[in-house]
Amino acid sequence: MEVSGTAAGAKGKKGAAGRKAGGPRKKSVTRSVKAGLQFPVGRVGRYLKKGRYAQRVGTGAPVYLAAVLEYLAAEVLELAGNAAKDNKKSRIIPRHLLLAIRNDEELGKLLAGVTIAHGGVLPKINPVLLPKKTAAKEAKSPKKAAKSPKKA
């Protein structure tokens, strides 16, 4: 009779498998915290599995990918923040993202085929369209030469 009573009591407690019955539950530590990342390692791993990129996904793959994504995001945000500050703005807009990416050589190469909505274009005037400097210099130099003998 006692045996059946204890068995019924053990069945009543669910979710205590692998630890002592009735003991305090440990606080779970995410893989992002273990890796020291802000990006979600678990979510990246889930997307890798669901995306069917490979039959099997190793335990280190989502950690590495999350770290790379976090680094890229931090790099783009830092440069875009600097672009916003240069334009005397406190909020990053798509224009600042575009300026940050296109002015950086490596990010520009990585995102060469990407169009950023409401980003505009880099400011650049073709040198052919600019007024010629040689004509302006020649026009100014004879006037200076004419003035200098009068002063002497």
What is the mean pLDDT of the segment spanning 16-25?
Answer: 71
Residue 88: how many CB atoms within 10 A of its CB?
6
Summarize pLDDT for 71-114 with one digit per residue, the tens: 999 999 999 999 999 999 999 999 999 999 999 999 999 999 99
What pLDDT is attached to residue 118?
97
CA distance 34 to 19: 22
Q: What is the CA radius of gyration of the chain?
A: 33
Please calculate the CA angle 142-144-149 and round it to the nearest 5 degrees: 100
CA distance 136 to 141: 9
Summarize pLDDT for 107-143 with one digit per residue, the tens: 999 999 999 999 999 999 999 999 988 755 655 655 5
What pLDDT is attached to residue 145?
53
pLDDT of 149 > 90? The answer is no
Split at pLDDT 50, 70, 90, the class of 7 is: low
CA distance 136 to 76: 42
CA distance 45 to 143: 74
Question: What is the DSSP annotation of 30-94?
Answer: -HHHHHT-SS-HHHHHHHHHHTTSSS---SHHHHHHHHHHHHHHHHHHHHHHHHHHHTT-SS--H
pLDDT of 14 > 70? The answer is no
**pTM of the complete model:** 0.70
Coil, strand or helix at 116: coil
Task: For residue 139, give the nearest of 149, 131, 128 by alpha carbon.
Answer: 131
Summarize pLDDT for 40-50 with one digit per residue, the tens: 999 999 999 99
What is the mean pLDDT of the segment spanning 8-28?
Answer: 69
What pLDDT is attached to residue 139?
57
